[in-house]
């Protein structure tokens, strides 16, 4: 059987592909709890994880554009938690940020999430409390918002790519909060999974058209990806369709970023295509597409681009409200002191409290927002990376565009990789009232100081 997107939704075969999908969705409950899952390489035992409905990843939530998502979140974890719906332009009260938009849902308690999804595309959900620990234990899932008129493809697959730090016994390494990670590049692991298990095999046919939804759900690892034996286009980034799709070959995915690819299987029958990652001169296969037969005699014609989402166009950039965000600190950085808890503190005082990074001279979530905007204003934030590391800057509640020095506007994004020593300007329309977090999505960096927020009234 050919799995098209449509019969995928209808068929019971979905249950075998997405073991986690059915029951919880029917009951509209999302329960975070402990579980046991084989995530390590073959021959290793199962791992104690934390997962939504007890699995990694959690259930796929698929919903038509413009509709409501309602989930009663039950917390059966030993820690307070919450759910953040990453990339959704959401009502502020549903954004799930503990300490800014809600209190932590205590163990044994529940919280009702109820929101509409204005934009079609590839999104995801994860906790927003002790995220550096809770995501590393397996709490995340995909949230797919369906276009009303999606491009025709033969297969539509989600790849949630994670980086685990496991012990030799395949247990989750309990080295959470390690200062080395927090002051450097974050918790980098030693084992990569796709959808919670070892990289696997996918059966495809020559000239089949695939939509691949890639999501980086790792704490801090940046993935350098490439497709082989597959040819096509990157059609969306961070959920938002590109005006001009570009050829899919090499692709960088920073933590929390997504890319939607539409590719045709060009490898011949009997051969293998692949999604690979490059890491310091080595190449690892994240997925194999083994070509079993021929779907059609030649490739389909070029895919139409995806329909645009109702994201407001930027206003006049000359008169836009501007603010600077200076990122400092970390290992090999120049920062000597910063404000924390209302006091100027030296780097050694900060590091004794596990804090290493500052935004505009302040460590951690400040009392006052980075800026206050009136609803509808166009805002430009100039992000200045004065650290020795790249950072994956995520703004809640909005999609923004990077403005190049020549004035050119980049694609809509919710997470931007800002390289060391880079200055990047981002612009967005502050059309959504509330308190919105702006932070580095390398979760150890968030926890070690890289957070601020904006207020829209
Ligand atoms: Cu993916 Cu602050 O979130
Ligand atoms: Cu960072």
The percent of residues above 70 in pLDDT, for the chain, comes to 94
Cis before residue 57, ω within 30 degrees of 0?
Answer: yes
Residues 390, 281 share a domain: no
- Between 304 and 272, residue with greater pLDDT: 272
Atom of ligand 1 nearest to the CA of 124: 1
Residues 329, 242 share a domain: no
Q: Residue 6: pLDDT above 80? A: no
Q: Residue 118: pLDDT above 60? A: yes
- DSSP H helices, 356-411, are none
Range of the domain at 375: 321-456
How does strand 29-37 pair with strand 47-52? antiparallel
The answer to the question of residue 371 being in a domain is: yes
Say how many Å lie between the CA of residue 160 and the centre of ligand 2.
Answer: 20
Instruction: Using the 3D structure, point to which of 305, 333, 366 is the last residue of a domain.
Output: 305
The answer to the question of residue 197 being in a domain is: yes
Q: Residue 247: pLDDT above 80? A: yes
Say how many Å lie between the CA of residue 185 and the centre of ligand 2.
Answer: 7
Say how many Å lie between the CA of residue 140 and the centre of ligand 2.
Answer: 20
Residues 365, 232 share a domain: no
Instruction: Using the 3D structure, point to which of 280, 305, 330 is the last residue of a domain.
Output: 305
pTM listed for this prediction: 0.93
The answer to the question of residue 312 being in a domain is: no
Do 215 and 143 meet the contact criterion of CB atoms below 8 Å apart?
no
Nearest ligand (C-alpha, residue 442): 2
pLDDT for the residue 27:
60
In tens, the pLDDT along 41-72 reads 999 999 999 999 999 999 999 999 999 999 99
Atom of ligand 1 nearest to the CA of 126: 1
The answer to the question of residue 350 being in a domain is: yes
Instruction: Using the 3D structure, point to which of 278, 305, 332 is the last residue of a domain.
Output: 305
In tens, the pLDDT along 427-441 reads 999 999 999 999 999
Nearest ligand (C-alpha, residue 220): 2
In tens, the pLDDT along 376-417 reads 999 999 999 999 999 999 999 999 999 999 999 999 999 999
Average pLDDT over residues 131-149: 97
Say how many Å lie between the CA of residue 233 and the centre of ligand 1.
Answer: 27
Residues 359, 225 share a domain: no
Average pLDDT over residues 209-218: 98
Residue 38 Cα distances to 58, 172, 178, 348, angstroms: 15, 12, 25, 41
In tens, the pLDDT along 174-210 reads 999 999 999 999 999 999 999 999 999 999 999 999 9
Residues 414, 351 share a domain: yes
The answer to the question of residue 316 being in a domain is: no
The answer to the question of residue 313 being in a domain is: no
Quick one: which of 264, 258, 275, 218 has its CA closest to 411? 258
The answer to the question of residue 405 being in a domain is: yes
Residues 210, 101 share a domain: yes
In tens, the pLDDT along 350-380 reads 999 999 999 999 999 999 999 999 999 999 9
Nearest ligand (C-alpha, residue 383): 2
Residues 263, 149 share a domain: yes
Do 219 and 442 meet the contact criterion of CB atoms below 8 Å apart?
yes
CATH number of the domain within which 335 lies:
2.60.40.420
Atom of ligand 1 nearest to the CA of 446: 2
pLDDT for the residue 26:
52
In this structure, the residue with its CA closest to atom 1 of ligand 1 is: 86
Q: Residue 75: pLDDT above 60? A: yes
Listed as own residue / partner, the contacts of 331-336 with beta carbons closer than 8 Å and 24 or more positions apart are 331/183, 331/184, 331/356, 331/388, 332/388, 333/386, 333/387, 333/388, 334/386
Q: Work out how many domains the chain is built from and give that number.
A: 2
Do 393 and 418 meet the contact criterion of CB atoms below 8 Å apart?
yes
The answer to the question of residue 310 being in a domain is: no
pLDDT for the residue 304:
75
Residues 420, 292 share a domain: no
pLDDT for the residue 69:
97
Mean pLDDT (the chain, rounded): 94
Nearest ligand (C-alpha, residue 390): 2
Residues 105, 78 share a domain: yes
Quick one: which of 218, 199, 211 has its CA closest to 256? 218
Spatial separation of the C-alpha atoms in residues 31 and 9, rounded to whole Å = 23
Do 135 and 50 meet the contact criterion of CB atoms below 8 Å apart?
no
In this structure, the residue with its CA closest to atom 3 of ligand 1 is: 86
Q: Which two tokens stand for residue 61?
A: 């939530």
Residue 268 Cα distances to 3, 227, 284, 293, angstroms: 20, 15, 21, 8
Average pLDDT over residues 293-313: 93
pLDDT for the residue 2:
32
Average pLDDT over residues 285-310: 94
Atom of ligand 1 nearest to the CA of 97: 2
Q: Residue 420: pLDDT above 60? A: yes
Say how many Å lie between the CA of residue 112 and the centre of ligand 2.
Answer: 31
Say how many Å lie between the CA of residue 250 and the centre of ligand 1.
Answer: 25
pLDDT for the residue 9:
31
In tens, the pLDDT along 156-184 reads 999 999 999 999 999 999 999 999 999 99
Say how many Å lie between the CA of residue 442 and the centre of ligand 1.
Answer: 10
Residues 241, 134 share a domain: yes
Atom of ligand 1 nearest to the CA of 396: 2
Atom of ligand 1 nearest to the CA of 256: 1
Q: Residue 312: pLDDT above 90? A: yes
Residues 338, 409 share a domain: yes
Residues 409, 295 share a domain: no
Nearest ligand (C-alpha, residue 449): 2
Ligand 1 pocket by C-beta < 6 Å: which residues?
84, 86, 126, 128, 256, 394, 396, 437, 439, 441
Say how many Å lie between the CA of residue 378 and the centre of ligand 2.
Answer: 25
């Amino acid at each position: 059987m050919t799995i098209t997107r449509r019969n995928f939704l209808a068929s019971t075969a979905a249950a075998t592909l997405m073991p986690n999908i059915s029951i919880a969705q029917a009951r509209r409950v999302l329960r975070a709890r402990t579980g046991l899952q084989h995530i390590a390489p073959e021959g290793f035992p199962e791992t104690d994880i934390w997962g939504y409905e007890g699995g990694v990843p959690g259930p796929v939530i698929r919903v038509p554009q413009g509709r409501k998502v309602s989930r009663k979140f039950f917390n059966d974890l030993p820690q307070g938690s919450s759910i953040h719906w990453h990339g959704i332009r959401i009502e502020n009260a549903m954004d799930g940020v503990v300490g800014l938009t809600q209190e932590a849902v205590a163990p044994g308690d529940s919280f009702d999430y109820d929101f509409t999804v204005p934009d079609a595309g590839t999104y995801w959900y994860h906790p927003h409390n002790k995220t550096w620990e809770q995501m590393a234990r397996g709490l995340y899932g995909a949230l797919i918002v369906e276009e009303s008129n999606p491009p025709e493809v033969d297969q539509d697959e989600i790849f949630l790519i994670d980086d685990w730090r496991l012990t030799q016994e395949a247990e989750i390494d309990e080295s959470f909060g390690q200062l080395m990670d927090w002051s450097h590049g974050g918790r980098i692991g030693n084992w990569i999974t796709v959808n919670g298990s070892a990289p696997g095999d996918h059966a495809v046919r020559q000239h089949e058209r695939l939509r691949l939804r890639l999501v980086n759900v790792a704490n801090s690892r940046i993935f350098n990806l490439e497709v082989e034996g597959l040819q096509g286009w990157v059609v969306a980034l961070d959920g938002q369709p590109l005006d001009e799709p570009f050829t899919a070959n090499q692709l960088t995915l920073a933590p929390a970023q997504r890319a939607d690819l539409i590719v045709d299987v060009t490898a011949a029958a009997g051969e293998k295509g692949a999604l690979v990652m490059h890491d310091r001169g080595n190449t690892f296969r994240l997925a194999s597409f083994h070509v079993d037969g021929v779907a059609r005699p030649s490739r389909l014609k070029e895919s139409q681009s995806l329909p645009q989402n109702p994201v407001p166009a930027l206003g006049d950039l000359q008169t836009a409200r501007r603010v600077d965000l200076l990122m400092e600190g970390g290992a090999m950085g120049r920062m000597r002191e910063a404000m924390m808890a209302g006091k100027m503190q030296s780097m050694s005082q900060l590091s004794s409290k596990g804090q290493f990074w500052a935004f505009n001279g302040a460590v951690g979530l400040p009392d006052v927002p980075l800026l206050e905007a009136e609803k509808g204003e166009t805002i430009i934030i100039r992000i200045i990376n004065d650290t020795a590391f790249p950072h994956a800057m995520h703004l809640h509640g909005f999609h923004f565009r990077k403005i190049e020095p020549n004035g050119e506007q980049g694609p809509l994004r919710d997470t931007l990789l800002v390289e060391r020593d880079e200055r990047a300007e981002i612009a967005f329309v502050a059309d959504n009232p509330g308190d919105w977090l702006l932070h580095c999505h390398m979760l150890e960096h968030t926890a070690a100081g890289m957070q601020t927020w904006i207020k829209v009234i």
